[in-house]
Amino acid sequence: MSDPLHRTFLLVDTERFSDRDDVQQAYLRRMLYDVVDRTLLAAGVDQTLRLRADRGDAIMELIDSSVPVNTLLRALLTEVPAQLRSVNRLAASSAQIRLRAVLATGYVMIDEYDGWVGSDLNHACRLLDGDTLRAALRERHDDYALCVSEAVYSGIVRHEHPGVPSAEFREITVPGKNGPLTAWLHGPLPQGAAAAPAAATPSAAPSPASASSPTSSPAPESVPTTMEVHFGGTNNGVQAGVVHGGITFGERR
């Protein structure tokens, strides 16, 4: 097992892959490889700077931390749509390829079987399989949906690097096995998907008319109709018991 390595994760999955026959699936896999390879080369990522894991209808890339994430993200926003238009414009309807992708960063370890282990990578996989990203791709006329992790958004997107417009990203929450994950979807939210809740605003101060005057008695406090009562001593006549009926504590008249 290697020491933890900081890497950029690129995960790309093919929509409705299992609905195709074997010949169509083989074609879609070639197109998937071609689109991703061309995009990474456009970002300056050659074979020495990446490791790939094949998942049949999907691929995962571990990209060296020396590659600028903003350059990679800019290529994902421009090159992937261009490549998909080029591939699909002459393809039959049964051979159209549509992709969803996740860009994230974090730590990963590589074991003796060349397997990849790391919570950050697990979180990226959850984002790729999340319902919001799937729904976004289903509802779009183009063939691509991308989301980025919270770390990529806070470190890159929100700073408005050239070619990375932060206004086009929408915050989403994706359920995870260990709690909800925050991510940022590029483009409009799908129908029925709620944006991440905004920060709570302070409640307004009470108006003078509704405020109690200094001489007014406090409002009575109602207690449930059945309650168990304990008193500190026997002088009150009751040590413990269950009282039935409405009880109100307030100022003695």
Q: In the predicted model, what is the mean pLDDT of residues 190-207?
A: 56
Q: What is d(CA 51, CA 64) in angstroms, rounded to the nearest whole number? A: 9
Report the pLDDT value the prediction gives residue 59, as an integer from 0 to 100.
97
197's CB contacts (< 8 A; 6+ apart) are: none
> pLDDT tens for residues 199-248?
444 444 444 444 444 444 444 444 444 444 443 444 444 344 444 444 44
Report the pLDDT value the prediction gives residue 195, as an integer from 0 to 100.
57
Q: What is the pTM of this model?
A: 0.76
pLDDT above 80 (res 197): no
Q: Residue 242 is which amino acid?
A: V
Angle between helices 22-42 and 69-88 (to 10 degrees): 140
**Domain residues of the chain, as ranges?**
5-186, 219-253
Range scoring the smallest mean pLDDT among 6-10, 117-121, 190-194: 190-194
Domain covering 5-186: architecture: 2-Layer Sandwich (3.30)
- DSSP, collapsed to helix, strand or coil, labels residue 77 as helix
pLDDT above 70 (res 252): no
Q: What is d(CA 71, CA 93) in angstroms, rounded to the nearest whole number? A: 33
Which has the higher per-residue pLDDT, 148 or 231?
Answer: 148
Report the pLDDT value the prediction gives residue 108, as an integer from 0 to 100.
97
Instruction: For the chain, give the percent of residues with pLDDT over 70.
Output: 76
Q: In the predicted model, what is the mean pLDDT of residues 10-33?
A: 95
Provide the H-helix boundaries in the chain.
22-42, 69-88, 119-129, 131-139, 150-155
> pLDDT tens for residues 150-189?
999 999 999 999 999 999 999 999 988 888 999 999 999 9
